[in-house]
């Protein structure tokens, strides 16, 4: 018989080890639980809420709970208006919605799909409460507003009668469902968001490239200087973090405007005339310049931390074997800094895509990003569905680019030191 090892108190050693490991796991879980709850509340829940709002349409069936089931039986292809029962159900829903203060919200919701629906619902809500027992609710509603006799109004009500809707995503890519039920693109002059998505990606990529070009020499200088001097220069790199983003952006407004410091200096040096001052703000130039300055530290720090780990002996060994300084840099030093370039690039690019304060202040109409319109719909127009759909598409684009980046470069190759 094999002897069972036990602890001093007689508990089998295997059981005691399992208990110890379980206690350690519970302790570790309790230590990370506050952080997990914080991330859950401040990060995952808002994203989930955004995704739900991008297709949620529960307001329509909830407010028109009598009309929607009857409207589902209506054949919109016949070209005829719904029957008397549908008009009567709609009148009852309007009376109830007027009491619950929900009918105006519904009108505003449908106004996102067709202009004039909000005023139609407000007008009908004011007058429908006076209707008691009438011979024909159809004639009564038509008397209130002739729009209730239009086929496209009823088609819209049936189209939006589901609890979920894809129309927010259609609008986010400049498409809509016409009165015949076909998905079509909006006229070219009314297309906004596709151009904004392309502009956001292109300018973010340009800003990333500029920060690499400007940040690489700075990071190399910081990594090769003696510690005391490099520490002093690192303070200068970190100095923008101690200054308000609004202050830094306002400073660029003072520098770049037509009557600003840079234009005055160019006029004083006779490089340009007073009448030909450069327009460097409220356009894409202002956005690129200001955001490159704001995001430059996010490129310098990852590059510096990686360069600091590269032994100087690598370059000396390459040169001792006959390589020129340029060849040694291209073959030895630069490949070792690629993980830092990758880390800084993905950090700057993702931050640039989501920026909206700086483009809003210096971008004008030509330099704004899609994030500016997301903020507009969330804060001003209160079209949360469209804002959420734009945010969801932007999130999907970032995830797709992240996967492509992982396939081409490899996330495991990124380093921060």
State the number of CA atoms in the 13 A half-sphere of 148 facing the CB: 23
pLDDT at 406: 78
Is the distance from CB of 293 to CB of 210 less than 8 angstroms? no
C-alpha distances (whole Å) from 72 to each of 67, 97, 312 are 9, 20, 75
Q: In which element (H, E) is residue 416 found? A: none
pLDDT at 415: 56
pLDDT at 322: 83
Distance CA 349, CA 337 (A): 18
pLDDT at 352: 92
pLDDT at 118 over 80: yes
Distance CA 106, CA 84 (A): 22
Task: Tell me what the pLDDT averaged over the chain comes to.
Answer: 87
Residues 241-298 have pLDDT tens digits of: 888 888 888 889 888 888 888 888 888 888 888 888 888 888 899 999 999 999 999 9
Distance CA 337, CA 405 (A): 17
Which residues lie across from 177 on neighbouring strands?
Answer: 183
C-alpha distances (whole Å) from 164 to each of 61, 158, 257 are 10, 13, 47
Q: In CATH, what class is 193-413?
A: mainly alpha
Contacts 24+ apart (CB under 8 A), 386-391: 386/112, 386/168, 386/171, 386/172, 388/50, 388/51, 388/52, 388/53, 388/54, 388/168, 389/54, 389/55, 389/168, 389/169, 389/171, 389/172, 390/172, 390/193, 391/50, 391/54
Which residues lie across from 39 on neighbouring strands?
Answer: none
Q: What is the DSSP string of 1-18?
A: -PPPPB-TTS-BHHHHHH
Residue with tokens 């990606």: 201
Confidence of residue 321 (pLDDT cuts 50, 70, 90): confident
Residue ranges per structural domain of the chain: 1-48, 59-165, 193-413
pLDDT at 2 over 80: no
Residues 367-406 have pLDDT tens digits of: 889 999 998 998 888 889 999 999 999 999 988 888 887 7
Give 388's DSSP letter: H
């Amino acid at each position: 018989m094999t002897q069972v090892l036990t602890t001093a108190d007689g508990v089998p050693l295997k059981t005691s080890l399992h208990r110890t490991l379980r206690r350690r796991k519970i302790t570790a879980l309790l230590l990370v639980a506050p952080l997990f709850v914080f991330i859950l509340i401040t990060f995952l829940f808002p994203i989930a809420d955004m995704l739900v709002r991008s297709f949620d349409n529960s307001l329509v069936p909830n407010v028109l709970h009598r009309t929607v089931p009857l409207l589902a039986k209506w054949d919109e292809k016949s070209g005829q208006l719904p029957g008397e029962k549908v008009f009567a159900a709609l009148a009852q829903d309007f009376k109830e919605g007027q009491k619950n203060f929900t009918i105006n919200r519904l009108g505003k919701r449908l106004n996102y799909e067709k202009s004039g629906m909000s005023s139609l619902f407000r007008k009908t809500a004011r007058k429908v409460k006076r209707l008691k027992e009438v011979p024909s609710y159809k004639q009564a509603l038509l008397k209130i507003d002739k729009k209730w006799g239009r086929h496209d109004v009823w088609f819209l009500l049936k189209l939006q009668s589901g609890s979920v809707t894809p129309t927010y995503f259609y609008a986010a890519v400049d498409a809509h469902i016409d009165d015949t039920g076909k998905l079509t693109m909006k006229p070219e002059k009314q297309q906004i968001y596709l151009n904004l998505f392309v502009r956001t990606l292109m300018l973010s990529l340009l800003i990333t490239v500029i920060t690499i070009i400007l940040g690489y020499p700075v990071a190399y200088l910081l990594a090769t200087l003696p510690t005391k001097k490099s520490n002093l220069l690192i303070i200068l790199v970190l100095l923008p973090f101690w200054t308000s983003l609004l202050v830094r952006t306002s400073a660029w407004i003072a520098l770049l405007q037509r009557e600003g410091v840079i234009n005055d200096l160019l006029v004083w040096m006779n490089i340009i005339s007073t009448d030909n001052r450069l327009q460097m703000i409220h356009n894409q130039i202002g956005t690129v310049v200001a955001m490159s300055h704001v995001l430059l530290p996010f490129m310098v720090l990852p590059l510096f931390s990686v360069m600091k780990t590269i032994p100087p002996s690598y370059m000396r060994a390459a040169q001792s074997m006959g390589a020129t300084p340029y060849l040694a840099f291209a073959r030895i030093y630069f490949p070792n800094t690629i993980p830092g370039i990758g880390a800084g690039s993905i950090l700057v690019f993702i931050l640039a895509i989501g920026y909206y304060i700086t483009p809003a202040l210096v971008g004008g109409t030509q330099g704004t990003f899609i994030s500016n319109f997301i903020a507009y719909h969330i804060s001003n127009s209160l079209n949360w569905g469209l804002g959420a759909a734009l945010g969801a598409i932007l999130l999907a684009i970032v995830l797709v680019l992240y996967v492509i980046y992982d396939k081409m470069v490899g996330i495991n190759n990124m380093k921060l030191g």
